[in-house]
Amino acid sequence: MSEKRLRQAIDTLKDSGVRITPQRHAVLEYLLTSMVHPTADEIYKALESKFPNMSVATVYNNLRVLREVGLVRELTYGDASSRFDCNTTEHYHIICNECGKIVDFQYPSLQEVESLAEQVTGFNVSHHRLEIYGTCEDCKHVAAAKH
Ligand SMILES: [Zn+2]
Ligand SMILES: [Zn+2]
């Protein structure tokens, strides 16, 4: 499954004329196999041992390239570090209040909300973002064990 996605992603890079360096390949592979919406720092830490000469700046640079060709989405959260999502299909996120984990879930895109917002505000809507917050299963178990 992720093998196929990796091959497709590499084809997309080739088609866009983007050079595939070993680091770029590794960043892409990490994103596609981990499916955890990592920060650039987390990707750096995961790949550090494999590429001792790689810097965080290189990771950022690779993420920017991947974002430009549409393989990765950047999720910004105010002052906190951005998280990177390689699931570029329509989906929503649920975020754990305790550990910050972000999990994907499918739900039909809320187009009616976009049209209503356009009608009542006169904006041209580009996109929307919806996040649900709660306590993930792992954290629920940790909390239960404490009591
Ligand atoms: Zn959690
Ligand atoms: Zn996602």
Cβ–Cβ under 8 Å, residues 114 and 129: no
14 three-state secondary structure = helix
Q: Per residue in 42-97, pLDDT tens?
A: 999 999 999 998 999 999 999 999 999 999 999 998 888 899 998 878 899 999 99
Cβ–Cβ under 8 Å, residues 32 and 2: yes
pLDDT for 1 equals: 52
- C-alpha to C-alpha distances, 71 to 11, 68, 86, nearest whole angstrom: 11, 8, 6
Give backbone dihedrals phi and psi of 41, rounded to 5 degrees, phi first: -65, -40
Q: Per residue in 111-138, pLDDT tens?
A: 999 999 999 999 999 989 889 999 999 9
Residue 84 pairs with which residues in a beta bridge?
A: 74
- Which residues belong to the annotated binding site? 96, 99, 128, 136, 139
Whether this prediction's pTM lies above 0.85 is answered by no
pLDDT for 12 equals: 92
Q: Catalogue all structural domains in the chain, each as residue range(s) with its CATH number.
A: 1-85 (1.10.10.10), 92-145 (3.30.1490.190)
Q: How far apart are CA 142 and CA 116, in angstroms?
A: 41
Q: Which residues line ion ligand 2, judged by CB < 5 Å? A: 85, 87, 104
